[in-house]
Structure 1
Amino acid sequence: MAGIATRYVTENELNNEMSIEELSRHAPALGILLMDKTKRDQTRRRFKKGYNFSEKQVFALISKQTAGQKKEGAVSNTPDTTQKVEPEEGTVNVKKDVEVIAKALSGTASNASAGLSRLTRLQRELKAFRASKKIISATFIPDITYSANKIQKENRLLRENEGIYYPDHFSLESVKERLDSYVVSNIPDKQALADVMIMLCIRPGEIKDLHIFNENVTGYGKNRDQQDIPRVFRSLEKNEEWAKQLLIWIQEAIFSRQLRDPGKPGVLWFNTFLKKDEFLPEIGKPLLPSSLRKLGAVFAVVSHGSKNLSEAMTIASEALRHSADNHVSPAKNYTIVNYRPRRVSYDRAKAFEFFDEN
C-alpha cells in the first residue's frame, strides 16, 4: 500500500518545495489509502527518505490518528463526504482524488482480479464514511472488471480440469476426529484454527465476526456493509452447539492474541503452516487458506448424505452461506475438489463437479 501512496505523490507532482498548506490538501486522499498504523508509518518513512520531505511536511500529508479513531478503525484524514463537495480554486477535488486512488490501486495490483478486489475494498471504505454515490462511482473501472471476470472464468475452467487434492491429514474423517477431540478449555493452535475454518467454510477475513445462533449464521464476509441477513447453519459438524463452542474458542483466542489472526492482510504464516511437508498432497498443489473453505463445502455434502445433484448444490450453497436468491449456482466455483476418504489412493478420488448434470 505504501507503493500506491508514493505513486499518488508522483502522479500529483507533490514535492518538498510545496507549503504545509498545499500538502495538507492531499491528506484526505492519502487517508483513504492508508488505513492502519503500519501502512501510515511505512509511508512516512518512504516520504522522508525517498522524497526528502521534512517531518512537518510528512505529517501534513499523513497526520496522526487519535486514540478514538484507532479504536474504531477510522481514518483520521478522510473527508466528510456526507456533504456535497464543490471544487474551489486551490483545493483538491475529492472525486478526482478517488479516481487517482482507484487507478493506483488497480494499476499496481498483480493482476486484474487482485485489482478488482482492491477497488471493492476501497468502495467499502468509502461507504463506511457515507460518501456520495458520485464519489463512489469514481472507483468503477470497466476494463478492470471485465478482465477480472475473464480471469475468474479461466481459473474456474482450470479448477474444473485439475481440482484440489488433499492429504489424509485433511480428509473428512481426520478433520472430524480432531473436531470431536478438542478441549475448549485449552489454548487452540494453528491446526485447530484450520479445522474450524474447514468446519464452517470460513474465509480468513470473517473468522472474528461470524456468529452462530438458532440454526442461523451472521457476520459472514459477503454481508459487509449490508443488512445482516441470517443464513442457514450448514456444516460437516451437525451439532450446532458444538460448532458454536469451537468457533467462540477460536475467536476468543484471536482476541486475546493467543492465536494470530489469519484474516489480517498480507500475513503469510498460515500459508506456511499449510505447506508443511506432512500436509503436502502426493499430487497437485499445496493447500491454501481458500482451499479449506472449499473442502468444507464438499465435506458438508458428504456428511449430510445428499441423494442427488440438486440436494448437493443446496447443501454446498448453504455451507458457503450463499444467497438463496442467486440462481447462477455460485457453489460450483468452490466445490471442485477431488474427494477421497482417508487411506484411499489418489487415483480413486472422485471429482466433485456439481455443475455436471451427468
Structure 2
Amino acid sequence: MATVQKTRKPKTNNFTSILDQILKKYNLSAESNPLQLRAHANELGTMLPDWKARKDVKEALHRRLFKDNQIEALVPDKRGKKLTIKERAQYCAKTDDAWDIWLHALDLAVPKNNTDEAIVAASSCLSQFRKELAEAGVDPEQINIYAKLPNVTQASNKIQKRKLEQGLISRPKTPKHFSLEVGLRRLQNIRTTETPTLQDLADVIMMMSMRPAEATTLRIIHYEPDESNPPEWYNPDYSWYCTGYIKNKGEAKHNSEPRPFLSMEKNPERARELLTWIQNAIAIGKLRDPVYSINGKRSTGVFSKFLKPYGITAKRLRKIGGKHASRVHSGQNSTSQHLAFLSRIAMRHKMDRHDSGMYYAEGDTSNSDLDSDPEPEPETLAPTPKPINENTSEIEDIYDLYGSI
C-alpha cells in the first residue's frame, strides 16, 4: 500500500509575528524616532524569552530598513546593562549619536524602586554620567540637552532637603551622663595611679574625640619648630599636635603629618597623661581594648554594650567630644561657624588654611546651656542643599558635626 507523503508547511517565526503585532499596534515604522520606539521596548522584551528570539527580531528589523540606533532602542542589548557609567559614556562618545546619550541617560535615571534612596541614587548616576561624557570629549551642548533630566534632579533635591531638615530638627541630644560639665568633672577626678575602667576609657575617648580604633595608636606630642625652616604642617597657633590618628575618607593612608591638638582637657600634658594611662592599661591587659579581643579578633561588643544604656554609639561619643572641645576652647560670643571650625580641629579633620576664614562670621551664639547640643543658626546649617550627585561635602560636614539622620 502506497503511503501518502504529507506536505510540510514552511515554519513561521513566531517572534517575527510578535514584532509585526507591536509595530502595527503602535503605528511604528522605520520613520519612528528612537524615543518613540524605546517607549515600547519593555512590552516587546517580555515576549522575547532568550537571546535567539531577540536576534531574530533584530534581523527582521534590519530587513525593514530600521537603523542601528532604532533597533537598539526597541530591542536593547541586555548585555549593555552590565556596562559601567564610564563605559556607557565612552560608547556614546564613540558613536557620536545624541540619541545614544538620551537613551543611556534614561536608563540611568530609572530608579530600582520607588524608595527615596533609589531616587537619589539614580540622580547621582545621571550626574556621574554627565561627568564621564565631558571627560570622554562629548560636546557640552549635547550633554546639557540630552543627559540632563531636570525632573530627576528636582525629585532628588526635594528628598535631600526634607531629610536634612528632619535631621536638624530631630538630631539626638547629648545624654546628661556625657554632658560637658559632668564629663569634665569625671576627667578632673581621675587618678592615674588606679586601674582604669570602661567609664574612664569612654571619658578619654570623648576627651580626645577619638575613634575607638585610635585608643591604642593616638599620640600627643609637643613641637617647637626651627624658625628658619618650619615644616609645612606647622601652625604658629599650636605647639601641641596629634599623630597616629586614622585618616578621614579621601585622604591618603600614607600621609602622617601631625594635626593640631584640641581636646576637652585644655592642659595638653594632663591630656597626654590620661591617654598614656589608658594605653598602658590596654597593653598589659588590665583594660579591654574597645576594638579587639584578647586573641586579636575584631570585637566591639563590650564597649558598645557599655554605651547602650545611654542611647549612644562610639561614633556619636566622638562627635559629642568634638562639640565639647569646641566650647572649652571658644570665647563667650563664638559664632556657630567658629564652633564648627574648632570641632573639626578637635576631631582631626583635614583643614585647608585658605578656607578657614569661612568659619569666622560675626554674630553672637553664646549659650549658657552646656549640657545640650548647640542650636545652629538656620541660615548657616540648613541651606537649600545641592544635589548629592553634584557636591556632598556641605551635607556631610553638617552630618559629621551635628549627628546623622
Instruction: Give the structure, 1 or 2, with the largest relative contact order (CA under 8 Å, sep 6 or more).
Output: 2
TM-score by length of 1: 0.47
| TM-score, normalised with respect to structure 2 | 0.42
Tell which structure's C-alpha radius of gyration is larger: 2
